[in-house]
A and B are shown apart, each in its own frame.
Chain A
Amino acid sequence: MYIFIIRRFLQLIPVIIGVTLVAFLIIQLIPGDAAQVMAGEAASEEQLEQMRENLGLNEPLYVQYGTFLADLVRLDLGQSVRTDQPVMELVAPRFWITLELAFWGLVVAVVVGLLGGILAATKQNSYRDLGTMMFAVIGLSMPNFWLGLMLMYLFSIELGWLPTSGWGDWQQIFLPAITMGTAGAAIIARMTRSAMLEVLGEDYVRTARAKGVKERLVIYKHALRNALIPVVTVIGLQFGYFLSGAVLTESVFSINGLGRLVVDAISQRDFPVVQGTVIVLALTFVLTNFIVDILYRVLNKRIEIN
């Protein structure tokens, strides 16, 4: 197991290098003069030169990349070209907010999704099954900003139970988390249902029943443990989507998360900030997959890595 974790970790290194390379190239790949694009049309020649100097654009490419990596190791993501603040200081607090939001979204998706899938699978073709799957289709096809607006209208404006926007209080968690988690819940429910249906037909489920295991334990222990194996992968992917897709939910509920930061940065052509965000998001995604791989291995005893 430890060997597996170490080996899997070593495999991350080329991926991480790839991520830094792509992030680094963001500035290089800007069509035309990067400094010009960032500084805007009205910039004077001196200002442009100053910007090139600041960003190190006059150096050869490999030196730039080397400096970039060296800074990265020291957690230095450069400075915003708009506010001159270090990018790290801009990204870090926003990242925590988005991470929290994605976490609660995932909680909604996993709890609702697993329960829905199990309820549907244990009574296949019943009204319960049909109803759950209908909700899943609706949840999946609803644009989440629209769902967010509808939730806000109902619970904040009409009923006045929950705040419309912001982040920090526990009451402010519910609506964004539901908004974010609904589509994921639908995907997880469908996945869980089909995995459970397959597993419930297996011989070892019959063996468990033949042993005298109570039906509830047959489902939640013997069957679910096996059905989770494919579902865990989907859950891990969902978390990645939540992080990168948070911008919609953040906009609807005026949450100052990473999504809004990057959208603002793009529209202001503040490329160091974009770069920093991309790196942070990509690394989180890579790390999530790493954790999922380990979980998958813990759940499925039959996997051998060679």
Chain B
Amino acid sequence: MAATDKTPILKVEGLQTSFFTHDGEVKAVDGVDFEVGANETLGIVGESGSGKSITSLSIMQLVESPGKIKGGSINLTGEDLLKKSKSQFAKYRGNRVSMIFQEPMTSLNPVFTVGHQVSEALRIHKKLGKKDARQEAIRMLKLVGIPAPEDRAKRYPHELSGGMRQRVMIAIALSCDPELLIADEPTTALDVTIQAQILELIKNLQESSGMAVLIITHDLGVIAETADKVAVMYAGEVVEQADVKTLFKRPLHPYTKGLMNAIPRHDVDMDELEVIKGTVPSSAEMPSGCRFMKRCPYASEICETHPSLATPTHNYGVEDDSGAVRCWIYTEEWDTATKKQEVQ
């Protein structure tokens, strides 16, 4: 399914989103690049505070005050969304770009029926009349696997289970046949069995519509199940990017390795689960060099300088030119620097 040669649906370049608080600027997203093609799924993975959710909200331009998109570009099939006026972009939101959220329990408005909420986007973007929108909403509810959609359309959100509500959210998001679907932790709040169903549903719908999917998660299991490509985010930056098979086969960045080691495994006998020590540094104590340095077991002097995201050229073992990593270890400089250290 990997389709790197296609023209990207979404291309994000140098995205910077900051929160301007009383204590100064907090750079939540600091220069993020990635692209997603048609029929392709990009997974963004990272722990809390890595900036992955803010990245997705930035694309939807739903970052709330005091947050602000400071720079970069977000291109949807070649058009820069950040150059659109508010009212111009409103035509894209929920129409060509849609989003589903983490909390299905609270993401639907409690005072409107499910059918009303699904038909709303259709009435706004497709300019459908009340009756047509309702018919279309029922069709969408059926499409996302809700049984007895005519009846459910008349129900209020509190009458539905969490899994059903997330299906409704998906129906809303897909009602206008978007080119890009952003799913921010779509299964985190759901039971494991429901999780698999929802991921399967998104995948099936993608296959039939050919949309690009951006899936945001902290769960590498979800990535393995759904994504074609992965971007690993840490402290507002992408630290590693690769297609999904490569990433699981040979994680390069010490952070990615740490994430993988933190997955409990049943086939290996372990007394203790490995953890990445420490937490994401706050903006006040953000190192000027590599941001992972303080938690990295391999940190060296050269890491005081900020590394850039680049194709690995050294020390990566398996030959594979796809992907990029933001770490000195995989550069020529690492070899010279460590040799110099050895000499000293």
Is B106 in contact with A210, judged by CB distance below 8 angstroms? no
A203 to B108, CA, bound (A): 8
Chain B residues with a Cβ closer than 8 Å to the other chain, count: 28
Q: Which chain B residues border A207 with CB–CB below 8 Å?
A: 101, 107-109, 169, 172
Known: A211-B120, A299-B111. A202 touches B106 (CB 8 A): yes
Known: A213-B120, A302-B158. A208 touches B93 (CB 8 A): no
- Asked whether any CB of chain B lies closer than 8 Å to the CB of A300, the reply is yes
95-114 of chain B: CB within 8 A of chain A:
95, 98-99, 101, 103, 106-112
Is B108 in contact with A204, judged by CB distance below 8 angstroms? yes
Q: Please pick, from B60, B91, B109, B124, the residue contacting A226 in the complex, using a CB distance under 8 A.
A: B109
- Asked whether any CB of chain B lies closer than 8 Å to the CB of A222, the reply is yes
- How many A-B Cβ pairs are below 8 Å? 69
- Asked whether any CB of chain A lies closer than 8 Å to the CB of B90, the reply is yes
Q: Which chain A residues border B262 with CB–CB below 8 Å?
A: none
A203 to B62, CA, bound (A): 12
Is B156 in contact with A209, judged by CB distance below 8 angstroms? no
Q: Please pick, from A206, A210, A214, A226, the residue contacting B110 in the complex, using a CB distance under 8 A.
A: A226
Is A212 in contact with B110, judged by CB distance below 8 angstroms? no
- Helix, strand, loop or mixed for chain A's interface? helix
Is B94 in contact with A226, judged by CB distance below 8 angstroms? no
A208 to B93, CA, bound (A): 10
Chain A nearest CB, measured from B312 CB (Å): 37
A301 to B157, CA, bound (A): 9
122-171 of chain B: CB within 8 A of chain A:
124-125, 156, 158, 169
- Asked whether any CB of chain A lies closer than 8 Å to the CB of B327, the reply is no
Q: Which chain B residues border A300 with CB–CB below 8 Å?
A: 110-111
- Asked whether any CB of chain B lies closer than 8 Å to the CB of A225, the reply is yes
- Asked whether any CB of chain A lies closer than 8 Å to the CB of B121, the reply is yes
A209 to B172, CA, bound (A): 12
Residue of B111, B125, B156 with most chain A CB atoms under a 10 A cut-off: B111
Q: Which chain A residues border B172 with CB–CB below 8 Å?
A: 207, 211
A1 to B227, CA, bound (A): 48
Is B121 in contact with A204, judged by CB distance below 8 angstroms? no
A213 to B92, CA, bound (A): 11
Chain A nearest CB, measured from B75 CB (Å): 19
Is A225 in contact with B95, judged by CB distance below 8 angstroms? no
Q: Which chain B residues border A222 with CB–CB below 8 Å?
A: 109, 112
Q: Mark A194-220, 1 if CB is under 8 A from B, else 0.
A: 000000001110111111111000000
Chain A nearest CB, measured from B89 CB (Å): 9
Q: Which chain A residues border B60 with CB–CB below 8 Å?
A: 210
Q: Which chain A residues border B111 with CB–CB below 8 Å?
A: 225-226, 299-301
Known: A210-B60, A302-B156. A203 touches B101 (CB 8 A): yes
Residue of A203, A210, A299, A302 with most chain B CB atoms under a 10 A cut-off: A210
Residue of A207, A208, A222 with most chain B CB atoms under a 10 A cut-off: A207
Residue of chain A at shortest CB distance from B159: A301
Is A203 in contact with B103, judged by CB distance below 8 angstroms? yes
Q: Which chain A residues border B124 with CB–CB below 8 Å?
A: 211-214
Is B158 in contact with A212, judged by CB distance below 8 angstroms? no
Q: Please pick, from A204, A225, A299, A302, the residue contacting B106 in the complex, using a CB distance under 8 A.
A: A204
Q: Which chain B residues border A208 with CB–CB below 8 Å?
A: 109, 120
A218 to B220, CA, bound (A): 35
Chain A nearest CB, measured from B328 CB (Å): 39
Q: Mark B10-27, 1 if CB is under 8 A from A, else 0.
A: 000000000000000000
Known: A206-B62, A302-B156. A212 touches B107 (CB 8 A): no
Interface residues of chain A, those whose CB is within 8 Å of chain B, are: 202-204, 206-214, 222, 225-226, 299-302
What are 23 A-B contacts defined by CB distance under 8 Å?
A: A202-B106, A203-B107, A206-B62, A207-B101, A207-B107, A208-B120, A210-B93, A210-B98, A211-B93, A211-B94, A211-B120, A211-B121, A211-B124, A211-B172, A212-B92, A214-B124, A222-B112, A226-B110, A226-B111, A300-B110, A300-B111, A301-B110, A301-B156
Interface residues of chain B, those whose CB is within 8 Å of chain A, are: 60, 62, 90-95, 98-99, 101, 103, 106-112, 120-121, 124-125, 156, 158, 169, 172-173
Q: Please give 5 more A-B residue pairs, beta carbons under 8 A apart, in addition to A203-B101, A212-B94, A302-B156.
A: A207-B101, A208-B120, A209-B93, A212-B124, A301-B110
